A = this chain, B = another copy of it.
Amino acid sequence: MNNIIIIGGSDAGISAALRIRELNSDVRPLIIDADRYPNFSICGLPYYISREVRDWRSLAHRTREDLVNEGLELLLEHTVKGIHPNTKQITAIDKTGASKELQYDKLLLTTGALSQKPDISGIDKSGVFFLRWLPDCLKIDEFIKESKPKTAVIIGAGYIGMEMTEALAKRGLQVTLVEYADTVLPSLDRELSEKLQATLAKNNVTVATQTSIESIELNNHRLLVKGTNQFERLADMVLISTGSIPNSHLGKSIGLDTGLKGALKVNCRMETQLSDIYAAGDCAETWHKVLNAYTYLPLGTVAHKQGRVAGENLLGGHKEFAGTMGTQSLKFFDNVITRTGLNEQEALRAGLTPISTDLETWDHKVYYLKAEKIHIRVTADRDSRRILGAQMIGAYGTEISKRIDLFSAAIYHELTVQEFSDYDLSYAPPLSSPWDPVQLAVQKLERKLG
């Protein structure tokens, strides 16, 4: 009854397997992974490129041995070629093509995501890279070491594009960052993303927004990147970071329903429409608690949560995924940029009546050493007075990544702007102010609401 197979050994899969072991140590789930290295921190890859991480092996959340010691069964370097729901069997093949049939009682698909390949001619040229998995990362590192590129074009200024901008700049490259939207980090309102201009300039990063890349051509051993708005740049390497798409072909092959971007449809128990088959993580849709709708949001935090829920339910539990709040953080050079909930544009698109305010204040009492300015933007719904979202930018070390989490908790609990002042937040002069900056920002919004 407890023959559990998990296809995929990254965040969601491992999280599910560990949860299973926590709840029932008699069950040993089998993880099948196409890679040699399961449970890698793919969020850490830019820091290997930047040389802030010296050994890629240290990027493993857990080593293979750790996983075996936790009681997991591993079948690595095997690819699942077929699922047979009627007989509850799967077919896996190894690198030599040898195949084996495996029997399951419950199956979890955590097949993850793939880099989106935008429609750009010349995208397969040598010197054009993607960053999703460890091998991508090692290829980029190898290229930098061997070809000693001096200039790079990065296409897409989302989280990975920003982190890779910093990483390549730290490796000495002159980076041009290209974004289709009208600001970098378009998941933030303009009030925040504009704050990064000084940092981009200071680090010698050229930015081209409202620009869509159309072609990459070979030009005298270099790459000529062309796009709309007369964009034309010669570069020694190109990184494409225009987002991810779900790796859902295995699920589709057995007729599983798909939704946004082709992600597998699941309910809040991470069940697909086929009995005893679950899906979690980047291959599946995600319930967004504030939007009150499904979305596609391939994040490690979400994958861990969905995996944990799936693990409990694979053992017959009834756990429900509470939903994402869209919480994200990014370190970019000396800054931290964070967000949770909905920004003003997202709230408008969701048919809400958002009202926002911006507050620039000190992270702790300014009379104490090393106080730093932080910028807080809060959005609430004018009608319900509920807090909908928050965005922050400030120096690394100003605790804004956990300050955004206070907003995440408050929005989770559907707090109004008035109620937010009831939170009893800690204060000592080197750490905060008697009203924490997040409360000062919400009080400012409360005054604006009247």
Contact = CB atoms under 8 A, between A and B. Distances in A.
Interface of A: 11, 22, 41, 43-44, 47, 52-53, 58-59, 61, 289, 299-305, 308, 322-331, 336, 338, 340, 365-369, 396-397, 399, 401-406, 408-410, 412-413, 419, 421-432, 434-436, 447
Contact of A304 (B58, B325, B435): B435
A331 B424 contact: no
A300 B422 contact: no
A367 B56 CA distance: 9
Contacts of A11: 434
Contacts of A52: 368-369
A49 B327 CA distance: 41
B434 A300 contact: yes
B422 A401 contact: no
Contacts of A302: 424
A15 B305 CA distance: 41
Contact of A426 (B367, B401, B436): B401
A400 to B, nearest CB: 8
Nearest to A46: B429
Contacts of A303: 434
B324 A429 contact: no
Contacts of A412: 422-424
A362 to B, nearest CB: 12
Given A44-B365, A329-B426, 15 more contacts: A22-B447, A41-B365, A41-B429, A43-B427, A52-B368, A53-B367, A300-B434, A301-B425, A301-B426, A304-B434, A328-B428, A329-B427, A338-B426, A340-B426, A399-B402
A44 B340 CA distance: 32
Contact of A432 (B329, B406, B424): B329
B425 A408 contact: yes
A323 B424 CA distance: 8
Contacts of A421: 305, 308
Given A369-B52, A409-B423, A401 B431 contact: yes
A424 B327 CA distance: 6
Given A399-B401, A405-B402, A409-B410, A43 B429 contact: yes
Contact of A436 (B61, B328, B403, B405): B405
13 contacts: A53-B368, A289-B424, A325-B424, A326-B424, A327-B426, A329-B432, A399-B401, A402-B402, A402-B403, A402-B405, A402-B425, A408-B426, A409-B413
A-B pairs, top 5 by smallest CB distance, nearest first, are A402-B402, A322-B422, A329-B426, A325-B424, A401-B431
Given A44-B365, A367-B58, A331 B408 contact: no
A265 B402 CA distance: 36
A412 B412 CA distance: 13
Nearest to A424: B325
A24 B412 CA distance: 32
A336 B324 CA distance: 30
Contacts of A427: 43, 299-301, 329
A324 B301 CA distance: 31
A405 B434 contact: no
A280 B426 CA distance: 19
A250 to B, nearest CB: 24
Contact of A368 (B44, B304, B340): B44
A324 to B, nearest CB: 5
Contacts of A447: 22
B408 A424 contact: yes
The residue among A22, A304, A336, A431 with the most chain B CB atoms within 10 A of its own CB is A431
